[in-house]
Amino acid sequence: MALPLFLQTIEETGFSTWLRESESPFAFYFILLFHTVGLALLVGANTVVDLRLLGVARGIPLAPLKRLFGIMWIGFGMNTVTGVLLVIAYPTKSLTNIDFYIKLTIIGFAVWVMQRLKSQVFEDSSLSEEAMTARGLALAKWSLFLWFGAITAGRLMAYTYKYLIFP
Amino acid sequence: MNFANLHLLMNHFPIIGTLVGLGLFLISLVGKNEDLRRASLIIFAAMALLAIPTFFSGPGAEGAIKKLPGVSEALIERHHGAAMLALLFMEITGALSLVGLWKSQGTSRPAGWNWSLSAVLLFSIVTVGLMARVGTTGGDIRHPEIGTGHEEVIEGSTVSKLVRRFEPSPGKFAELMTATKWWWAFMMDLHFVGLALLIGTVGILDLRMLGFAKQIPIGPLHRLVPWAMAGFGINLVTGVLAFTGMGDYYTYDWAFWLKMLAILLLGLNVAAFYLTGAFESVEGLGPGDDAPPLAKFIAASSLVLWFMVITLGRYIQSFSDTISVHK
């Protein structure tokens, strides 16, 4: 099966070539760095909420943890932007790799769970902590599982690609 | 300064520092001295941290001398294997010491003997013994006046013959780590999971100390620290394993060494937090309370240093071969 030509078109643009081949420290690795930082913010903050719902550090009051969702969205935004740039740098490598689509699917589910956590557990300020925990327990477990899956799928991308650049 | 200098400088810490720690630990047992016991646990933890860059400076030291006349490859390999075994026990001792320190803090808990202290005693004694072996096998490489003078490996005593059976073969171990890309992928995967766990928990604590989300009381947030240590532990193990698989790749890379420096500075940061009274000053802070300036400084430097660790880690690939082999 022939690869779609638009991959080559993107790859041959000046921007894509610069991202990929430039010696500048602000090119590919810089973007990859902020993709990792975004991951730390998004998954890190979500993990704290999940752990708390699962009963870790019960002294932490649940309601104020609502503030952490802001950090999660900053991380998600960072990773969307850097993610797009990474795909522009290596369009063939990412878009012909099924692992990439698995990663995006898992992330989609993880973000959906994240939103349900916010709306089901944290939105109603009249809920008691017991009620909040009851609503959030299953979601917290799914959240941890899905983010672990997303990190794994992302990491495996470096080992599962078929084409580095358009052949 | 080359890698041989660095290795000879750093090796004093895990060999002598651990011995000093054990001495103080034993004295604290006899004298039933809580403060001395805590100090010895801190020394064990610090030596465990310093043992890592010491171990990492080995391949560079090897590179500096292996072509010299009279230097035996076999003796180097023996020393390397001894170091791997000793490092395992050193890190276990360090981890147990952190558990012991965690259990000893807090006024509500009565300070007494517990399982972690028995384990520290056992593992530290084994570590000191193994470190002594690392020292002597290292000396054999380049000090014919103290060694057998032979170039092949000769185990003198029954004890050393026994210990030798447990020492891994560095070459075989490296092959194992790099045998399949899926194992490497798995290790790197865990490295990222560890980083998310670590940065998430430490990051939230640091941000709260800096004034973010003031509705959260600080004391309960601190209960997340063992999870941060679990994340750090995962990364320490996967990091050391990665290095044993591709030692030369990391050795001649500036980003890797700067990352190690940042981690050592973070060790200082942790020590500062607990030993300067900053922890006590924030432990009881409730919703709406502001942390004192020292605690804020420690929190800010922690965030900056962890960002540097992530940055330098990501740039390892980009900075490969930036240190010349002849150093």
B143: pLDDT confidence band, cut at 50, 70 and 90?
Answer: confident
Q: Give whole-number Cα distances, B15 to B45, B48, B134, B162, B239, in Å.
A: 13, 11, 8, 20, 22
**Cα–Cα distance measured from residue A46 to residue A148, given in angstroms and rounded to the nearest whole number:** 11
Q: Could you read off the pLDDT of B167-225 as tens digits, one per residue?
A: 999 999 999 999 999 999 999 999 999 999 999 999 999 999 999 999 999 989 999 99
pLDDT at position B252 over 70: yes
User: How much of chain B, in percent, has pLDDT values that exceed 70?
Assistant: 95
pTM: 0.93
B161: pLDDT confidence band, cut at 50, 70 and 90?
Answer: confident
Question: Which residues 185-214 in chain B show a CB within 8 A of chain A?
Answer: 185, 188-189, 192-193, 195-197, 199-201, 203-204, 207, 212-213
Complex-level ipTM? 0.91
**Is there a contact between A139 and A113 (Cβ–Cβ < 8 Å)?**
yes
Alpha carbon dihedral B259, B262, B267, B269, in 10-degree steps, equals -160
Best CA proximity match to B24, nearest among B47, B43, B10? B43
B162: pLDDT confidence band, cut at 50, 70 and 90?
Answer: confident
User: How much of chain B, in percent, has pLDDT values that exceed 90?
Assistant: 82
Taking the CB of residue B310, how many other CB atoms lie within 10 A of it? Answer: 20
List chain B residues with CB under 8 Å of A49.
none
Q: Which residues of chain A have pLDDT under 50?
A: none
List chain A residues with CB under 8 Å of B196.
39-40, 43-44, 47, 147, 151
What is the rounded average pLDDT of the residues B147-173? 80
Best CA proximity match to A52, nearest among A125, A148, A155, A121? A121
What radius of gyration, in Å, describes the C-alpha atoms of chain B? 21
Best CA proximity match to B22, nearest among B93, B115, B112, B92? B93
What radius of gyration, in Å, describes the C-alpha atoms of chain A? 19
More confident residue, B16 or A25: B16
Best CA proximity match to B245, nearest among B291, B313, B192, B177? B177
User: What residue numbers bound the domain in which A156 lies?
Assistant: 5-160
List chain A residues with CB under 8 Å of B317.
29
What is the rounded average pLDDT of the residues B271-289? 93
Chain mean pLDDT for chain B: 92
Residue among A36, A58, A67 minimizing CB distance to B213: A67
Task: Give chain A's domain count.
Answer: 1
Chain B contact for A125 (CB, 8 A cutoff): no
What is the rounded average pLDDT of the residues B258-262? 97
pLDDT of B149 reads 53
pLDDT at position B107 over 90: no
| Domain positions in chain B | 1-168, 169-327
Q: How many angstroms separate the CA of residue B190 from the nearest CA in chain A?
A: 8
Chain B contact for A167 (CB, 8 A cutoff): no
- Phi, psi at A55, each rounded to 5°: 105, 0
* Encoded tokens for B318: 């980009």
Residue among A32, A39, A152 minimizing CB distance to B189: A152
**Cα–Cα distance measured from residue B229 to residue B48, given in angstroms and rounded to the nearest whole number:** 14
Range of lowest pLDDT (B61-75, B95-109, B257-271):
B95-109
pLDDT of A1 reads 64
**Is residue A167 in some structural domain?**
no
B1: pLDDT confidence band, cut at 50, 70 and 90?
Answer: confident
Chain A contact for B181 (CB, 8 A cutoff): yes
Which helix (H) or strand (E) is A80 found in, with range? helix A68-89
pLDDT at position B279 over 70: yes
B274: pLDDT confidence band, cut at 50, 70 and 90?
Answer: very high
B111: pLDDT confidence band, cut at 50, 70 and 90?
Answer: low
Chain B contact for A157 (CB, 8 A cutoff): no
Q: Could you read off the pLDDT of B36-58 as tens digits, one per residue?
A: 999 999 999 999 999 999 999 99
B156: pLDDT confidence band, cut at 50, 70 and 90?
Answer: confident
Interface contact flag, A59 B307, Cβ < 8 Å? no
List chain A residues with CB under 8 Å of B313.
36
Chain A contact for B226 (CB, 8 A cutoff): no
pLDDT at position B110 over 60: no
Q: Give whole-number Cα distances, B203 to B128, B131, B297, in Å.
A: 35, 35, 14
pLDDT of B21 reads 98
Best CA proximity match to B155, nearest among B133, B131, B128, B132? B133
Q: Three-state SS for B323?
A: coil
**Is residue A49 in some structural domain?**
yes
